[in-house]
Structure 1
């Protein structure tokens, strides 16, 4: 493993592997199918990135998360490692070019979604690559019992036919025992080596508090722990409101949700990462790929939809090994709120049919048409036009996205379209007088040859890359040209984009996925019940409850969660009561009612104290039901 350690030091600047990483790398280097369950922050990506760097050829990484793919590719490229991601919105010609680079350009990593592998021509290209390892990230998506089941994962095992000697590595951060078994079976992993890292986080205290005023307790927690914190909420409105309320209370905050423009996300993220603000208020859109070691506190103001997500979000605290807190604040009304947020908004077959038909009409897709067509899409406008409930409609689009019928990209974007209003000769004259704008304008003209004749959709990132300029510089040039009436510039905000992966067939399309819809809806109801059980259970250590959900049984209480602290306080109070009762019985034999009247303690506390004294052999109960000291 000396070469693996050398790669780790050279590219990742770490002197040693974390727990299980070395064993997993050794397993895949021996060309063995491997399953790795490593909770969030465990360093899963190292387990396939290091061995891929040790061998000739290309590592194929299958992942459903576009943001994570982009993040990992960027990180690899920053290290000087050649990596490519085939995400949505890339046109066929560009995909061909990227695949050529993979085949002939000495690239080490190709990231793609499982849906991409369903394209026959892409699969044909991949079959001819020199693949040294196939890594399946978020592998729980292959299981109908896993969070975010995606049918496209079921076809990944077909790669076994084309790469019979290549090791498969299945990775996930959260999987119950049932899901683990399902992953191994559905991926057809042979003689699979299984590595599971404990879900125990010894430095993380899980706290559940029943409160009337969540904002007040949040204020107390943040004052007591002034280090970096994340507050999770379930919707964009709460995100902005809570951030504003905390600002008024004197805390430095920012917020993050899926409706922000990419630049806004980056700016808000940097404020928090660079310690310019204490608190990040966020929806679950925040957190993927975030590695900030000194997060002290995670606070959930709303119930999460499932314990898988909760464990991952809570686990972003205390990665530096210091004592940290995962706090879940619960109000009596929260169950109704959670049901309205997660359960009552689940679509049934009829509603799914309505949404799909209206979506096709909205985008003007005819029956039997639409495959591979991509559209900028304003989700709110769509719901408003057809008077559709927002959350239920969103869940419908997410479901048909997971089923691979469409690709529903939730990147908030600003669509730009422009057209030159002056002749090419006048443009050349302008360039001669404004040499600083020359490269950008010439790049635009080379990239969009029809831009004189009609209004053309415009990709600022592409032009920035081709002209070796920043995106801000490109936008500045466009604004200048628009002001001078050289171009007509139109900007339109879109909160999503949609790509159709198959032709429109209305009921036939939806009928095919109805059984899957029913299974997923049942799973979501079951998962929310597990969350409710977790917060309602006042008879068990919170750490024990959470670990048991993931199939890990521990005997000892953690000693630091809200249950354990309350238990210690109760035992401390009970100790004082035991001493007081012992003193009373030194003078007289007394009944439990007489002891209760003398001590002013509650009946159950008195009974518990008397039972303790009897078990310790210090008192006895007489035939008249009075208590006295044993040796009196």
Structure 2
């Protein structure tokens, strides 16, 4: 395995593998079908990227997440590794050109969505490629019992017929025992080597805190643990409000949600990544690809829909192996509200049909049209136009995305309108002086022929694909052109990007996928009830509850979660010992003791009185307790 370690060191700058990466890579190199269940932070992508580097030919990576594909392709390209992605919104001719590049251009990785496998001509083109490995990321999406089922994943099994000697590597970060078995069956894995890392995070403790004053509790937590933190909130408005409230309390805070522009997201993310902001307040749009080792605390102010999402989000804390905390702050009102909102936002067939029809009308797509057409999309504007509830609408769009009807990118994009206001010969002169921008500018000119005559809406994502660069670079070039008065430029922020994968057929489309809707609602309800049980159970160790959900049995109580600590604190002697241990460092008043030790008022008074009666402690003129 010396060669694999050399590649890891050269391209990924790590000196050793995480357990069990090396064994997974070896299994793949031996040609075995392999199933890797690596909880969040386990380094799943390396398990197929390193074999892909060692094999001759090209590795196919099937992923449902556009943002993740873009992120991984750009990361590989920065390492001078040739990688490409078949994203939505490009023509058949352009797709064919990209596949030609894969066939003749010595590419190492081709990323594509499972929906692409529904197109026979693409499968035929894949059969012509020198494929050495097929990696299935987010493999739990193949199971109807998983939390993120996508019917298009069921097509992956067909690749076994075309590539019977090519190893399959299925990777996922969360799957119950039933889902694991279903993944093996649905993907057609043959005698797979299973590698399963325990979901147990020994350095991470889980806490459920019940209080109506969430802000004060967050303040206490961030004051006590002053390292990097994430606070997850319910929606975008709460995101901004909570961040501003924390700033007013003296914390360095920023925020992140799906409605921010790319620039705003990057700027805020970097503030937090570089520890210029202690805390980032975010919706669940934040997290993909985030690997910050020194996160001390992840706080939830809302109840996640399922334990898979909760585990993944909390798991962003403590990746450096040091003590870390996952804290969910709630109360009876919040619990009832979460249950109510969850039920209200389950999608019915009629609602889904209405959304689909109105979405096509919104983009003026005629019946029988729309295939492969792409649009920038503002969710709030759409909902306001048709008086739809925002969250329920978003859930419906996500369902349509998972069924492959459309592709919804939750990354914000810029709606860009451009007109060149200088003659074409001046554009040529500009390119000669700015050769690094040539590919982007020529891609714009080739794609939009009337751009000298009138203002034209352009697609920066499409231009980035054609120029083999990033959307950020496209926008940078446009802004530079505007500064020298070469173009007129309008940027209008949109919070999503939609590509239609099928022609519009209204009832026919919805009737075909409605069979999955009933099952989806049933699974979501079961998973949500498990999440509520996890929050409500005040007798069982939180770590035991979580691990039991993922199929790990015979686990001892962790001794450090909110349930375990509550049992300890129920003993006045234990509370007294905590107080004495703290007072060894400095005298403190009752308020300081309550905050630092997280002890209830009655419990604290009882223990203090016990220690005073025994003359173990005394109280000074500042009302501070000290050891006698």
| TM-score scaled by length of structure 1 | 0.86
**2:242 is aligned with 1:242:** yes
Q: Which residue number in structure 2 is paired with residue 30 of structure 1?
A: 30
Deviation (angstroms), 1:434:
11
User: Is the contact made by 2:414 and 2:460 (CA closer than 8 Å) also made in structure 1?
Assistant: no
Q: Which residue number in structure 2 is paired with residue 303 of structure 1?
A: 303
Q: Once the two structures are superposed, what CA deviation does each residue of 1:3-48 show, in whole Å capped at 9, x if it has no partner?
A: 2222222222222221111221121112111111110011111111
Output the CA distance in 1 between the equivalents of 2:530 and 2:413: 36
Following superposition of structure 1 onto structure 2, how do residues 254-333 of structure 1 map, counting pairs within 5 Å? 254-333=254-333
Q: Once the two structures are superposed, what CA deviation does each residue of 1:131-179 show, in whole Å capped at 9, x if it has no partner?
A: 1111101001011111111000001000001100011111111100010
Q: Which residue number in structure 1 is paired with residue 205 of structure 2?
A: 205
Q: Which residue number in structure 2 is paired with residue 48 of structure 1?
A: 48
Deviation (angstroms), 1:291:
0.8
Deviation (angstroms), 1:574:
8.1
Deviation (angstroms), 1:92:
3.1
Output the CA distance in 2 between the equivalents of 1:44 and 1:111: 15
Give the counterpart of 1:474 among 466, 477, 494: 477
Aligned-partner SS, 1:96: helix
Q: Which residue number in structure 2 is paired with residue 359 of structure 1?
A: 359
Aligned-partner SS, 2:254: strand
Give the counterpart of 1:428 among 425, 449, 457: 425
Following superposition of structure 1 onto structure 2, how do residues 90-239 of structure 1 map, counting pairs within 5 Å? 90-239=90-239
Aligned-partner SS, 1:513: helix
* Structure 1 residues 418 and 535: CA distance shift in structure 2, 3 A: same
Output the CA distance in 1 between the equivalents of 2:123 and 2:261: 33
User: Is the contact made by 2:478 and 2:489 (CA closer than 8 Å) also made in structure 1?
Assistant: no
Output the CA distance in 1 between the equivalents of 2:67 and 2:441: 31
Deviation (angstroms), 1:447:
4.9
Q: Which residue number in structure 2 is paired with residue 86 of structure 1?
A: 86
* Structure 1 residues 452 and 535: CA distance shift in structure 2, 3 A: same
Q: Once the two structures are superposed, what CA deviation does each residue of 1:175-196 show, in whole Å capped at 9, x if it has no partner?
A: 0001001100100111111111
CA RMSD of aligned residues (A): 2.6
User: Is the contact made by 2:57 and 2:108 (CA closer than 8 Å) also made in structure 1?
Assistant: yes
Output the CA distance in 1 between the equivalents of 2:459 and 2:355: 30
Output the CA distance in 2 between the equivalents of 1:574 and 1:282: 37
Q: Which residue number in structure 1 is paired with residue 493 of structure 2?
A: 493
Q: Which residue number in structure 2 is paired with residue 403 of structure 1?
A: 403
Output the CA distance in 2 between the equivalents of 1:170 and 1:276: 38
Q: Which residue number in structure 1 is paired with residue 581 of structure 2?
A: none
Q: Which residue number in structure 1 is paired with residue 448 of structure 2?
A: 448
Output the CA distance in 2 between the equivalents of 1:67 and 1:378: 18
* Structure 1 residues 274 and 170: CA distance shift in structure 2, 3 A: same
Output the CA distance in 1 between the equivalents of 2:430 and 2:84: 39
Output the CA distance in 1 between the equivalents of 2:83 and 2:432: 35
Output the CA distance in 1 between the equivalents of 2:428 and 2:509: 52
Deviation (angstroms), 1:337:
2.4
| TM-score scaled by length of structure 2 | 0.86
Aligned-partner SS, 1:364: coil
Output the CA distance in 2 between the equivalents of 1:4 and 1:464: 31
User: Is the contact made by 1:88 and 1:409 (CA closer than 8 Å) also made in structure 2?
Assistant: no
Deviation (angstroms), 1:442:
6.5
Aligned length: 574
Q: Which residue number in structure 1 is paired with residue 579 of structure 2?
A: none
Aligned-partner SS, 1:123: helix
